[in-house]
A and B are shown apart, each in its own frame.
Chain A
């Protein structure tokens, strides 16, 4: 082991330089084989990372949200949780998946439903009974009781309405989530 501990690696040309062709083949081989072995773990990792793109939301079913009794026809919005069968990766369970505001105008037998999610950036919108308006606690978007925007507003659109119907003295809502921050209401797929 007579080699000096400090070897200058940059000076001193390699003895008997190989032919350019051989050198090219060596370089190409090193790159190709090195590339292949690095690709295997990278691609398998990518496949798993991209897995969420395969998952689809299963929206579209009417969910029972409240009894008609709990929604008097006084025109005031009331907040209800939406409890539904929820699939979360390996679990499937019955749990709250969101909240809605329901409202029934005097004398009407139909309900109006607004999702509690702010269309601006997704905060939970509060109902302020003093001013009879919806107020978002995050960026101060304000909405009228029917969900229309109160200008000026950071929100690009009115509160999102949800389809709802009354059946057998119960209020059913087709619960959906929408992309926030867009002028158009687009359901998440």
Chain B
């Protein structure tokens, strides 16, 4: 632990400001609360929103897990983990069940989250209406008036053009029947995990200076139409080539030499844990 810095990097004033915004965010599910968004030692757009939430929450007894698109070992995840553990001395882990704070970029872990955990999602674009309304004061007005026809129209246009909703990630959701919210660019596969989640979910956008939240046991519905229902990505008949798991989010990989397509778990720690469970029987 580097004692040249404050505990959890921030001065107490910065923490207080983020903490006040976070409490308001929890009280108004799905509403984007503006906050000051401090300069961080990593670039804006590299997870500063999530990092600021993590630093404002973390205490000596926490166990931290950071993932970047399902991986515990990618550069972004490793560096954020290093920064937090250098300035706090807290333990880090790859195991989802052991973590009390999970900061994540673009995935919700496969292992269901529990009551004593907080999931912190990094958000690049917190405004779900930005695609068709560039003005912040206008989108604030649309949220105030619960005027979301544009959000549905956006999906309708996709259906007209391509025959189905083409949101690969960041499919907008309606939270507590009030706010349309960007769930951060998690795959559609993860959207249902937000509904009535056991863990508190906090979302932070550092560059856009917004924090918002989905409290536990809150209604989260992905936007869709009666005749074009919301559909998560389907991995029917496919399984992970390493651990054999089915019913999880899989990455499609193509071997350019043989042109062979195979699938692998996106959540690396889940894949390793499954492999370790199976292995003793296989090796004997």
Q: Is A bound to B? A: no
B-side residues, CB < 8 A to A, are none
